[in-house]
Amino acid sequence: MKMAPILRAFAAHRPPLPALLVHTGQHYDREMNDRLFDDLRLPHPDINLEVGSGTHAVQTAEVMRRFEPVLDAQRPACVLVVGDVNSTLACALVCAKKDVPVVHVEAGLRSHDRRMPEEINRLLTDQIADRLYTTERGAHANLAREGVAAERICFVGNVMIDSLLANSELAPAATRTLELAGVAPQVVDGEQGYAVVTLHRPSNVDRPESLRPLLSVLREVSEKLPLIFAMHPRTRANMERFGLQDLLRSSRIVLLPPQGYLEMLGLLQGARLVLSDSGGLQEESTALGVPCLTIRENTERPITVDQGTNTLVGSNPAAIRRGVDEILAGAGKTGRIPEFWDGRAAERIAGDLAAWLLARHAQASS
């Protein structure tokens, strides 16, 4: 979702910025990968490292091992990495060892919770990066506290919103998605609307004492409005392992497998509210003006709380109930669209990166 608008902006830049797309294969489901590339009109990768699953350490090490020969063969002017996954840090580390400039898109976001693997990836990648593109101005203060020089940082906006705006008219309605899943669309066609639910973070789903109360409160919420739960494989497996399947057996809860990008976007566009522990959904719900209750104690995207539609409710069932009741009573956040969430972030990246690379080349030649 982040790379697709960047590659389009590179191609549209004059002169075009040549790029080689490397897919590490960290997200390794082939069907979901192919579907995502097609949905986003993203060219298929020039190189797929096919790393697959593993522990954080194994996955990071394997990406490094397989990426290094690519870097040696291609000798790029820079390597652009996005977000905060293991691949982001792994590729940045290889570049640092090889003295290849690193460009980080979505830099400076912080949850201030080092128990999150993504937080470690963010912190270390930003220390390695030579050019850092931020989605919100608050990220600059985080980077300044960590000693990152201001001249390395450029505020460009949010490429996730570029993708959302570019694809919003292509997204199917929720009723269509349900029909294709074999679910009667009347489930979500009532006056009360529906809520979209996702849960996948280990702190929420890996222990029965955490997962059980969350599923129980979701069952309660479904009595007030129907739920469409796009269930992560990790969550489904744990729910079965802990014997908690009965908690979600209700005609008012639709359980779906992970959805394609366009299908998920269509579900969000029609939702009354979102209940999730996802980072991306916090941003997308803010862009769509849909109230979001984030089932986490912290967020690396505080702008969605300060300016957007997001409210942190943690994993406390009482806070979740209260948040849902407020939204259904009409007191949910309406928020506003943050600065530079205008669909042109990738254009700004392309323009700045071209100038930055040209300046580096001139400096090296002098």
Place of tokens 């790393």: 51
pLDDT of residue 40: 87
Q: Which residues of 255-276 are buried (b: 16+ CB within 10 A; e: fewer)?
A: bbebbbbbbbbbbbbbbbbbbb
Q: Is the dihedral of CA 68, 72, 73, 74 positive or negative?
A: positive
Average pLDDT (278-290) is 96
Separation of alpha carbons 10 and 15, rounded Å:
9
Structure tokens, 97: 């060892």
Structure tokens, 10: 């590179």
Active site annotation includes 200: yes
Q: Which residue has the higher pLDDT, 28 or 262?
A: 262
Separation of alpha carbons 34 and 252, rounded Å:
31
At 44, the pLDDT band (50, 70, 90 cuts) reads confident
What's the burial of 68, exposed, middle or buried (CB within 10 Å: 0-12/13-18/19+)? middle
Contacts of residue 92, defined as CB under 8 A and 6 or more positions apart, other chains included, come to 79, 81, 102, 104, 124, 125, 128, 129
Helix crossing, 345-365 with 159-167: angle to 10°?
Answer: 140
| Spatial contact of 356 and 80, defined as CB atoms under 8 Å apart | no
Average pLDDT (284-299) is 97
Structure tokens, 151: 């001249």
Is a pLDDT exceeding 70 seen at residue 228?
A: yes
CB atoms within 10 A of CB 184: 12
Query: 27, 44, 56, 200: which is the annotated catalytic residue?
Result: 200
Is a pLDDT exceeding 90 seen at residue 126?
A: yes
At 266, the pLDDT band (50, 70, 90 cuts) reads very high
Contacts of residue 63, defined as CB under 8 A and 6 or more positions apart, other chains included, come to 24, 26, 49, 51, 86, 87, 90, 91
pLDDT in tens, 182-205: 887 777 776 789 999 999 999 999
pLDDT of residue 32: 65
What DSSP string describes 55-95? -HHHHHHHHHHHHHHHHHHH--S-EEEETTSHHHHHHHHHH
Domains and CATH numbers, the chain: 3-157+341-365 (3.40.50.2000), 170-328 (3.40.50.2000)
Is a pLDDT exceeding 70 seen at residue 41?
A: yes
Is a pLDDT exceeding 80 seen at residue 59?
A: yes
Separation of alpha carbons 192 and 319, rounded Å:
21
Q: Which residue has the higher pLDDT, 90 or 192?
A: 90
Average pLDDT (55-65) is 95
Separation of alpha carbons 320 and 198, rounded Å:
14
- Mean pLDDT of all residues belonging to the chain: 94
CA distances from 43 to 9, 33, 260 (A): 13, 12, 17
Separation of alpha carbons 332 and 290, rounded Å:
9
Place of tokens 């080349």: 361
* Antiparallel, parallel or unpaired: β 195-198 and 47-48: unpaired
Average pLDDT (6-16) is 97
Q: What is the pTM of this model?
A: 0.93
- Among 124-133, 153-162, 251-260, 285-294, the least confident range: 251-260
Is a pLDDT exceeding 80 seen at residue 45?
A: yes
Is a pLDDT exceeding 80 seen at residue 31?
A: no
- Among 116-130, 188-202, 311-325, the least confident range: 188-202
Cis peptide before 5 (omega within 30 of 0): no
- Among 48-57, 241-250, 322-331, the least confident range: 48-57
